[in-house]
Amino acid sequence: MDAIFDDLSIALRKPRSDVWGKVRVIALDAAGKFLVGVAIGLGITVGSRLIAG
């Protein structure tokens, strides 16, 4: 019984690994690419409107 509590206490003392870290990096990368795409699209739209008059 003591071994179970020893294992639990060791597991609780270990630093947690960031499970969501990789997901967060992928999500931020996708969001950045999306926003850059929107900015480029708006720039092209505004530029074409200014040139066309």
Whole-number CA gyration radius for the chain: 25
Compute φ and ψ for 15, nearest 5 degrees: -70, 140
For 37-48, what is each residue's pLDDT tens digit? 999 999 999 999
Question: So what's the pLDDT on residue 44?
Answer: 96
Mean predicted lDDT score pLDDT of the chain: 86
Q: Does position 16 have pLDDT exceeding 70, yes or no?
A: no
pTM (two decimals)? 0.58
Give me the mean pLDDT over the 14-40 stretch. 88
